[in-house]
Amino acid sequence: MADSTDASAPRVLRPSSAEEVAEIVLLATREGVPLTVVAGGHGPWSHGPADGIRLELGALSGIDVDGTTVRIGGGAVWGDVATTLGAHGLALSSGDTASVGVGGLTLGGGIGWMVRAWGLAVDQLIGAQVVTAAGELVETSTDVHPELFWALRGGGGNFGVVTRFDFAAHPLPGIVFAENVVDGDPAVVLRAARDLLRDAPRELTVTYMDVPPMDPSAPAGARLSAVWAAPEPDRLRAVLEPISAIDGVRTEITSPAYREILLEMPQPEGEEQAEPPGFIGGNGLYADLDDELIERLVAFRRAYPASVVFLRSLGGAFGDVRQQDTAFPARSATWFVMAGAFDIPGMVDDAVRDAVVADWAAIETGRLAEYGNFADTERPHAVPGMFDAEALARLRQVKAAWDPRNIFCRNHNILV
């Protein structure tokens, strides 16, 4: 077990087996210190608290393919998964970024490029190996500890450390990818996308993103990207015609490997990660992308130069899953929406902060639920807004059964 210590930082432990994970959980329990579990270490959550034990799962990153069943270590990242599965002609609906951890994304639900074709990451989960708060190693599925398995599918890391995920992968002979660069009125494009997706084939999933030049993970400006979950460029071209025909839209269609469309986050030099800027805004799952919501989003992006607007189409396979079958909320949602401004010294003052908060509050109105994977800070008061009432009550029962002392609290914490 690798151990990195620094008097001014949390104790970092890097287990090489599920048994060592269990030892660390028991160690944190005996010492009564906070335990932070890190899978891929992607994004603001990877910074963690300044004390306690930081359990990094990176060494548990194996990927084993047996037919269409895939067993993935809790420390693996989606880029490696896509590469391995691509060699077998398979894929999973996963995160959009190569460095995103399988663990964090899956436990929170997992909205990805194939969400309309195959659903969430959790909708493909068929089993898991979990280290519990008692330090026990258990297997779970719909047949074994079914309530724990239900809770893992959208309830976050509240119930244990998942050391292995078992998925049912999908054959994928190829995809088609389209970039629609928007130089004209973005509201026109968003209305056309909404109308198109109401009846579009589920092979189609689209993302709209409008970002400033400062965002290193995406080209600046507005664009609507589309993935077609089959090697059929003519089909995608025909389906997207209502959007590509709009004045001010430039469309390019390619046929990359699925792995190639996953974003690559720039890596900081050295081992230290720079603290990300603050983010003022939020996200939501919406029943519909109505005209008022579109206008608010376009106005928000226009008003704040250091802001970002991001949307992902839902529906299709995402909506096929019954609400009670997973802990994930709002299966009736047809769009995921995020908007916010970066809180950068010199660019944002108190007056701007207040304006951003007010504008986001207007955008937030009408959302069905918040998506926890895109909520980058711990806000215990917001947790009820991440689940429907029936699911939250059920999650609390599972929490009481499997983690009554709340050992796993460094997350969107579900309290008994």
Q: How does residue 216 score in pLDDT terms, banded at 50, 70 and 90? A: low
Amino acid in the structure at residue 298: V
Tokens 């917001």 belong to which residue? Answer: 382
pLDDT exceeds 90 at position 275: no
> Residue 235: in which H helix or E strand, if any?
helix 233-239
Q: How large a percentage of the chain has pLDDT more than 90? A: 85
pLDDT of amino acid 219:
80
**What is the distance in angstroms between the CA of the first residue and the CA of the last residue of the chain?**
32
Question: In whole angstroms, what is the distance from residue 6 CA to residue 354 CA?
Answer: 38
pLDDT of amino acid 272:
53
Beta strands at 204-211 and 307-313: parallel, antiparallel or unpaired: antiparallel
Lowest model confidence (mean pLDDT) among 46-60, 135-149, 201-215, 280-294: 46-60
Question: In whole angstroms, what is the distance from residue 161 CA to residue 42 CA?
Answer: 17
Q: How does residue 346 score in pLDDT terms, banded at 50, 70 and 90? A: confident
- Domain extent listing, the chain: 176-374
pLDDT of amino acid 10:
83
Q: What is the mean pLDDT of residues 198-223?
A: 90
Amino acid in the structure at residue 373: N
pLDDT, tens digit, 9 for 90 and up, residues 122-143: 999 999 999 999 999 999 999 9
DSSP 255: -
Beta strands at 161-168 and 69-73: parallel, antiparallel or unpaired: antiparallel
Bridge partner list, 161: 131
Question: In whole angstroms, what is the distance from residue 111 CA to residue 328 CA?
Answer: 11
Q: What is the mean pLDDT of residues 208-215?
A: 87
* Radius of gyration over every alpha carbon of the chain, rounded to an integer in angstroms: 21
Q: What is the mean pLDDT of residues 8-19?
A: 90
Bigger pLDDT: 92 vs 4: 92
Q: How does residue 49 score in pLDDT terms, banded at 50, 70 and 90? A: low
Question: In whole angstroms, what is the distance from residue 57 CA to residue 101 CA?
Answer: 10
Q: Which of 207, 214, 218 is nearest to 307 (CA)?
A: 214
pLDDT exceeds 50 at position 45: no
Question: In whole angstroms, what is the distance from residue 98 CA to residue 90 CA?
Answer: 16
pLDDT exceeds 80 at position 267: no
CB atoms within 10 A of CB 76: 23
pLDDT of amino acid 123:
98
Predicted TM-score (pTM) of this structure:
0.94
Query: At the topology level of CATH, where does 176-374 sit?
Result: Vanillyl-alcohol Oxidase; Chain A, domain 3 (3.40.462)
pLDDT, tens digit, 9 for 90 and up, residues 235-255: 999 999 999 999 999 999 999
Q: How does residue 92 score in pLDDT terms, banded at 50, 70 and 90? A: very high
